[in-house]
Amino acid sequence: MSTQERDYLSATPFIDSDNPAIVAFAHDALGHAATIKEKALALYGAVRDQIQYDPYIDFFDPAEFRASEVLRAGKGFCVGKSALLAAAARVAGIPARPGYADVRNHLTSKRLKEQVGDIFIWHSYAELKIDGQWVKCTPAFDKILCERARIAPLDFDGVNDSLFHPFDQVGRRHMEYLKDRGAFADVPFATIVADFKTFYPKLVAASASAASFRDEVTT
């Protein structure tokens, strides 16, 4: 095993696969899965559907990017959910790493569009090494959300990349991939936040306003 591959099996500050709650979550999700592929599919399904997708978070709070905190909250956005899947996979002995891309969501909600527009930088998926091949999978949107939005849940077969659909179930444009940012051994939190501050000034203002309100309440 190469040094780099060991990095994709080790706990990191954000992919904290040594956290007892993540270890328990992974073991529960694995059930009777025996092969690497079976384990990957079981973990993918658990993260996708047991953790609610929630993009209305404090994007500058490191807890929203950390696998154990997303698990504790039971919800998270794409970066946190992908970190959790990578962490659970590492528990199962599957090399895993978070990957990132810039995307345009043609079906984004009015509320989110007002905050960040329809382009989301540093959208995250996970890459798992299955039977010697790195395969991308996107556990962000849970089944309940997909039903409400009339989009098909993303399935994952452990062989082919599972990325967002370009169209929804009634033929509307959905997700457009604009730029691949690559994969990392850990969540590049500082880089992501720095870019968010540059590209999303409304998020910065909202975060500052919320922090000011908390200070007023607690003092």
Residue 192 confidence (pLDDT): 97
Q: What percent of the chain has pLDDT over 70?
A: 87
Q: Is the pTM of this model over 0.75?
A: yes
Residue indicated by tokens 């990578």:
86
Q: Which residues contact 145 (CB under 8 A, 6 or more apart)?
A: 52, 53
**H-helix or E-strand containing 124?**
strand 119-130
Residue 34 to residue 176: CA distance in whole angstroms: 35
DSSP conformation letters of 66-121: -HHHHHHHTEE-HHHHHHHHHHHHHHTT--EEEEEEEEEETT--HHHHHHH-SEEE
pLDDT digits (tens, 9 = 90+) for 143-172: 998 888 778 888 999 999 998 766 666 666
pLDDT digits (tens, 9 = 90+) for 64-123: 999 999 999 999 999 999 999 999 999 999 999 999 999 988 667 777 777 777 889 999
Residue indicated by tokens 């039971």:
74
Domain spanning 3-218, CATH architecture: Roll (3.10)
Residue 87 backbone phi and psi in degrees, to 5: -65, -45
Domain boundaries, the chain: 3-218
pLDDT digits (tens, 9 = 90+) for 41-67: 999 999 999 999 998 889 999 999 999
